[in-house]
Structure 1
Amino acid sequence: MKLVNWSYAKRYNIKAIFDDFPHVVVLFRQIGGYYFIFSMKGLTPEHIPTRRDYVKMEYLLNKELGMLTAYKERKYK
């Protein structure tokens, strides 16, 4: 999975698109020193991400933004 595009959105959110789910817009919010998935738009019943996909998306975005250390040190892993 690769991070295709990301941009800032309203209210401190970040919108991102990943190559495995190009039709889904993933919204991230910041908590502490890292970003986590807040919501997703454009999901279809045939293409629902798994928990592993969620973690990979969070990992890739935090790596891109330079917040990977804080993401790895979060309480829940």
Structure 2
Amino acid sequence: MRLVNWSYAKRYNIKAIFDEFPHVVVWFRQIGGYYFIYTMKGLTKDHIPERRDYVRMEYLLNKDLGMLEAYKERKYKV
């Protein structure tokens, strides 16, 4: 999976698109020193991400923003 594009949105959110789910816009919010998935727009019944996909998306975005260390130190880990 690759992070195709991301941009800042209203109220300190970030919206991102990933190559494995190009029809889905993933919205992230910041908590502590890292970003986590808040919501997704454009999901279909045929192609729903699994938990490992969510973790990979969060990992890629935080890596791109330079917040990977804070993400790795989060409380809840899979």
Task: State the TM bucket, normalised to the shorter chain.
Answer: over 0.9
When the two chains are superposed, the root-mean-square deviation of aligned CA atoms in Å is 0.2
After superposition, residues 1-77 of structure 1 pair within 5 angstroms as 1-77=1-77
How far did 1:12 drift? 0.4
**How far, CA to CA, are the matches of 2:75 and 2:9 in structure 1?**
26
Following the alignment from structure 1 to structure 2, what is the Cα–Cα distance between the partners of residues 21 and 74? 25
Question: Mind listing any 5+ residue stretches in structure 1 that lack a counterpart?
Answer: none
Alignment length (residue pairs): 77
User: Take 1:63 and 1:15, find their aligned partners in 2: how far apart are those partners?
Assistant: 15
* Structure 2 portions without partners, runs of 5+: none
Superposition deviation, residue 68 in structure 1: 0.1
Deviation at 1:66, TM superposition (A): 0.1
TM-score scaled to structure 1, two decimals?
1.00
- Identity percentage over the alignment? 86
> Letter of the aligned partner of 1:53 in structure 2?
D
For 2:45 and 2:13, the matched residues in 1 are separated by 25
* Cα distance in 1 for residues equivalent to 2:17 and 2:4: 6
TM-score when scaled to structure 2?
Answer: 0.98
